[in-house]
Amino acid sequence: MTMRFSKMLLAGGVVLSVLSMSMIPVRTSTFQDDKELIGAGSSFDYPLFTKQFAEYANKAGVRVNYQSVGSGAGISQLTNKTVDFGATDAPMNGKQDSALSAPAIHIPVTAGAVVLSYNLPDVKSPLLLTPGVLADIFLGTITNWSDAKIAAINKGVKLPNQAILIAHRSDGSGTTNIFTTYLAKVSNDWNTKVGKGSAVSWPAGIGGKGNEGVAGLIKQTPGAIGYIELAYAIQNGMPYASIQNKAGKFIVPSTASITAAANIPIPADSKVSLTNTDARDGYPISGFSWVVIYKEQNYNGRSKERATNLLKLIQWMIHDGQSLSAPLNYAPLSPAAVKTGDALLKSVTYGGKTVL
């Protein structure tokens, strides 16, 4: 089946594509134009990548064709070697690793927050949610906004007698992985009945494709609640809840509270979860996002120039490109994360010899 993409040509010549169907695209690439790199994956990263890739095209003359198809699809395309990089909000698991024909590395490129956005037009005060109440809502145990458990933590707020509609991702998603990993940590019921992962069997609700699809469902449906990336909520003027963290504080998601959550040691492979952070002022549903590439870049007839262009792009993203993060409500990488990313990039080879 031929898949169709809608494309946007942005300033500087960067092309970004959004999948117009709900299936993973099947495509081939001969990697002939070394100044047009191909990436696919995280819709969580899409607003930041849009800005970064446009600026880098102006600076370096290297364009990026990025498809916002979700983390799971991005990893699938990297596995099939039809893209130069995959972008994911969840580190690859053992099953995904075993499907690769060669080792891949994860370079952290940003940190962000998964927020709980809702459509309650008559509720003017920001909603407060505890971990237990949030888990019960998504388990389908709490089904009405007037429930006593919600009212107990939102004293003085007039909550409507209205059914709750849950909006969740329908595609394999790193955003889902961050959210379900958090729920599995804070709720035994969730952990045993649903679990965690980039795709789960949802107890209730309806699905939307990408952050864009979930945001659309929430905006269109009074009484809805769903999880989306912070930038999407802010850009669309959508309200979002403050979540009680491990220290007992209700934390507003922001670049400051994401940075606080990410102020932890980074392992050499960069695979670390920020959810349910111990940080007193940290937002508890935060996470890194990674660009994933093959450690050995000489494959499928790729040139050394292409490999070099790819690594220089990623190097710029984790250094100068970080200046674009905060204005788009992403948290800039910590020095420890940048140091880890640099070490990983220096381990990449072409024909067995280091590229950078």
Q: Which stretches of 154-209 are DSSP H helices?
A: 174-186, 188-193
Q: Do residue 55 and residue 150 come from a single domain?
A: no
pLDDT given at position 14: 45
260's tokens: 């606080």
Q: Which residues pair with 144 in a beta bridge?
A: 163
Residues 124 and 79 placed together within one structural domain of the fold: no
239 and 322 housed in the same domain: no
Count of domains observed in the chain = 2
The pLDDT-based confidence of 210 (bands split at 50, 70, 90) is confident
Whether residue 303 sits in one domain with residue 257? no
Residue 9 has pLDDT above 90, yes or no: no
Cα dihedral 107, 24, 68, 285 in deg (nearest 10): -60
Q: Dihedrals φ, ψ of 267, to 5°?
A: -70, 165
From 231, 254, 286, the end of a domain falls on 286
For the chain, give the percent of residues with pLDDT over 70. 91
Structure confidence by residue, pLDDT tens digits, 254-303: 999 998 898 888 999 999 999 999 889 999 999 999 999 999 999 999 99
Question: In this structure, are 274 and 295 located in the same domain?
Answer: no
41 CB contacts (<8 Å, ≥6 apart)?
67, 68, 69, 70, 71, 73, 74, 75, 77, 78, 85, 86, 87, 88, 174
The answer to whether residue 17 scores a pLDDT higher than 70 is no
CA distance 213 to 18: 12
Q: How confident is the model at residue 88 (pLDDT cuts 50, 70, 90)?
A: very high
Would you call 93 helix, strand, or coil by DSSP? Answer: coil
So what's the pLDDT on residue 25?
40
Same domain, 33 and 69: yes
Nearest to residue 115, comparing CAs of 23, 192, 170, 182? 182
Last residue of a domain, one of 235, 267, 286: 286
What is the chain's mean pLDDT, rounded?
90
Does 39 share its domain with 57? yes
- For residue 30, what pLDDT is reported? 53
Domain boundaries, position 102: 5-111+288-354
Model pLDDT for residues 137-189, shown as the tens digit of each residue: 999 999 999 999 999 999 999 999 999 999 999 988 888 999 999 999 999 99
pTM reported for the whole predicted model: 0.79
Strand pairing category for 206-208 and 165-169: parallel
Say if residue 142 is in the same domain as residue 275.
yes
Shortest CA distance to 88 belongs to which of 290, 318, 278, 280?
Answer: 290
Residue 209 phi/psi, 5-degree rounding, is -80, 120
**Please, are residues 199 and 75 in contact by the beta-carbon 8 Å criterion?**
no
Which among 258, 286, 314 is the end of a domain?
286
pLDDT in tens, 167-177: 999 988 888 99
Residues in the chain: 356
Position 31 scores a pLDDT of 64
342: Cβ–Cβ under 8 A, 6 or more apart, which residues? 315, 318
Element (H, E) at 262: none
Domain co-membership, 301 together with 260: no
Alpha helices in the chain (DSSP H): 46-60, 71-79, 94-99, 131-139, 148-152, 174-186, 188-193, 210-220, 230-235, 255-261, 304-318, 335-346
Question: 58 and 21: one domain?
Answer: yes
Banded pLDDT at 231 (limits 50, 70, 90): confident
Asked if residue 278 and residue 130 are part of one domain, the reply reads yes
Mean pLDDT lowest for which of 24-33, 38-47, 178-187? 24-33
In sequence order, the 6+-apart residues with CB closer than 8 A to the CB of 306 are 31, 34, 37, 84, 297
- Give the pLDDT band (50/70/90) at residue 355: very high
Cα–Cα distance measured from residue 186 to residue 189, given in angstroms and rounded to the nearest whole number: 9
Residues 6+ apart with CB under 8 A from 180: 190, 194, 195, 196, 197, 200
What pLDDT, on the 0 to 100 scale, is given for residue 80? 96
State yes or no: pLDDT of 27 exceeds 60: no
CATH at 42: 3.40.190.10
Question: Which residues, 6 or more positions from 110, have their beta carbon under 8 angstroms from its beta carbon?
Answer: 45, 48, 288, 289, 322, 325, 330, 331, 332, 333
Same domain for 316 and 280:
no
